Amino acid sequence: MRERLQAFGGFMAGMVIPNIGAFIAWGLITALFIPTGWTPSERFSALVGPMILNLLPLLIGYTGGKMVHGHRGGVLGAIMTMGVIVGSEIPQFLGAMIVGPLAGWIMQKVDDALEDNIPVGFEMLINNFSIGIIGTLLAMLSMVVIGPVVEGVTNFFGGIVEAMVNARLLPLAAIIIEPAKVLFMNNALNHGVLAPLGVAAAEESGRAIHFLLETNPGPGLGLLVAYWVAGKGLMRQSAPGAMIIHFLGGIHEIYFPYVLAHPIMILSVIAGGLVADLWFVIMNAGLVATPSPGSIFAYIAVTPPGQFFGVMGGVLIGAVVAAVVGIAVLRFRPVPAGDADEEEIDDVGYVPGLG
C-alpha cells in the first residue's frame, strides 16, 4: 500500500515539475505587477488571472495525458482540462491532475481498438477525427460533471476550515489547510474562504489572523530544509533553489511536489502549520491584508506596527518545527532509493537544474 501511494504521489508530482517554469513565470508576474506587488501595473497584472485559471491547468492536463499516451494523450488531456476550467470558477489544478491522465488512458484504449482496423491511407483522417470527436464528448462531460464535483470538494474543505475558524479552533485548521494546499487548493482556500473572513475581521481591529493561516511560508521552508539536510538524490539537490523560489518569491506551489513524491512528508508541514498557528493565536497576531504572493517580503509589507515579533516569530517557528519533523520522518522513512536517483526521478517528470 505504501509503495502504491508512493508511486501515485510520484506520478502526480510528475505532472507538475516539468511545468515549474510556467509557475515561476506566473509567480514573478504576480509578485511584480498586482496592486500589492513590488511594481504595480494594471496592464501587466491582467496576465495573472488567465495564467492561473487557464494556462497552468492546461499545461498540467497536457502533461498528465502525455505521460500516459504520448502527444495524442496530451492533446486529449488539454481538451478535457478545458472543460473542467469552464465548468468551475476556481483554479483547476486538481481537476487537471484528474482528467489529464484519464484522457490519456481513454486515448490509449481507443488507439489500441482502432490500430488494426484503419484502412490504408486513412490513418491521419481517422486519428485526427478520433481526437476531435472524443475530445468534444469528454470536454462536455468534464464541464458538466467533473468541474463542479472538484469545485464542490474544494468548497467542502473550505467549509471545514471556516467552521474551525468560527469555533476558535484555528491551530487545528492546519490539519485541513496543509493537505489541501498540496492538492493545489491553496488559492481557493485563501481567496475564497480565508480572505473574505479576514477582510471582515480587519475592518474591526485593523488586522486579521485569517491572512496568516494559508500564506505562512514557514512550514514550506522547513519542509525544503528537511529535504536539503536528510533527503537524497535530485530532491536534495533541488531543495536550495526551491527554498529561494518559495520563501523569497512566494511561489508555494514549488514545494507541493516534494510532498506528493513522498506523501508521509505531509506530517512535516502539518506540524509546522499547527504550531505556527498556535503561536499566532497566543500572540494575537494578524496582518492588514492577504500577503500576495506569500513571500517573506509580502509578509513584511502587510505587517502592521507592533505585530512584527508575533508575525515573524510564527514564520520562524513554523519553519523550525516543519524542518525538525521532516528530518525525523526522512530518517525513519527515507525516500526509497529508486525514487531518489536522478534517472528514476526523470522518468516521473523531475528535471535537473531546479537547484
Q: What is the pLDDT of residues 258-277, one digit of tens each?
A: 888 788 899 999 999 999 99
pLDDT single digits (tens) 215-257? 899 999 999 999 999 888 878 888 888 898 889 888 887 888 8
Model confidence at 191: pLDDT above 70 = no
Model confidence at 172: pLDDT above 80 = yes
pLDDT single digits (tens) 45-78? 898 888 888 998 899 899 999 999 999 999 999 9
Q: What is the mean pLDDT of residues 323-341?
A: 79
Residues 6+ away with beta carbon under 8 Å from 281: 170, 171, 209
Question: 332-337, long-range: CB within 8 Å, 24+ apart, which pairs?
Answer: 333/262, 333/264, 334/230, 334/232, 335/231, 335/232, 335/233, 335/235, 335/261, 335/262, 336/3, 336/6, 337/232
> Residue 125, exposed/middle/buried by CB under 10 A (0-12, 13-18, 19+)?
exposed
Helix, strand, or coil (residue 169): coil
- Angle, helices 266-283/308-332, rounded to nearest 10 degrees: 160
Helix, strand, or coil (residue 287): strand
| Residues, the chain | 355
pLDDT at 141: 93
pLDDT band at 325 (very low <50, low <70, confident <90, very high): very high
Distance CA(73)–CA(22), nearest Å, equals 21
Distance CA(34)–CA(36), nearest Å, equals 5
> What separation, in Å, do the N-terminal and C-terminal C-alpha atoms of the chain show?
31
pLDDT band at 346 (very low <50, low <70, confident <90, very high): very low
Q: What is the mean pLDDT of residues 286-296?
A: 80
The pTM of the whole model exceeds 0.75: no
CB-CB contact of 349 with 17 (8 Å): yes
Model confidence at 102: pLDDT above 80 = yes
pLDDT at 10: 66
Q: Of the ranges 32-36, 140-144, 312-316, which one carries the lowest mean pLDDT score?
A: 32-36
Distance CA(336)–CA(119), nearest Å, equals 48
φ and ψ of 91, to 5 deg: -60, 120
Helix, strand, or coil (residue 208): strand
CB-CB contact of 69 with 111 (8 Å): yes
Model confidence at 314: pLDDT above 60 = yes
pLDDT single digits (tens) 110-169? 988 887 777 777 778 788 888 999 999 999 999 999 888 888 877 787 677 777 777 778
**What percent of the chain has a predicted confidence (pLDDT) above 90?**
30
pLDDT at 161: 72
Please give the single-letter amino acid code of residue 271: A
pLDDT single digits (tens) 200-220? 777 677 788 888 888 899 999
pLDDT at 192: 61
pLDDT at 350: 36
- Nearest-CA neighbor of 11 among 92, 72, 101? 101
The most confident of 18-27, 334-343, 344-353, by mean pLDDT: 18-27
Distance CA(227)–CA(81), nearest Å, equals 32
CB-CB contact of 234 with 340 (8 Å): yes
pLDDT band at 341 (very low <50, low <70, confident <90, very high): very low
Average pLDDT, the chain: 82
pLDDT at 31: 66
Model confidence at 326: pLDDT above 90 = yes
Q: What is the mean pLDDT of residues 12-33?
A: 74
Per DSSP, helices labelled H in the chain are 2-16, 20-33, 42-45, 48-50, 56-86, 93-114, 123-141, 147-166, 174-180, 186-189, 195-205, 210-213, 218-230, 233-243, 256-260, 266-283, 296-301, 308-332, 337-340, 342-347
Residue 287's beta-bridge partner residues? 208
Give the C-alpha distances (Å, rounded to integers) separating 11 from 149, 260, 303, 342, 354. Answer: 22, 8, 39, 15, 18
- Nearest-CA neighbor of 207 among 272, 274, 296, 283? 283
Residues 6+ away with beta carbon under 8 Å from 204: none
Within 13 Å of residue 15, how many CA atoms lie on the same side as its CB?
A: 34
**What percent of the chain has a predicted confidence (pLDDT) above 70?**
87
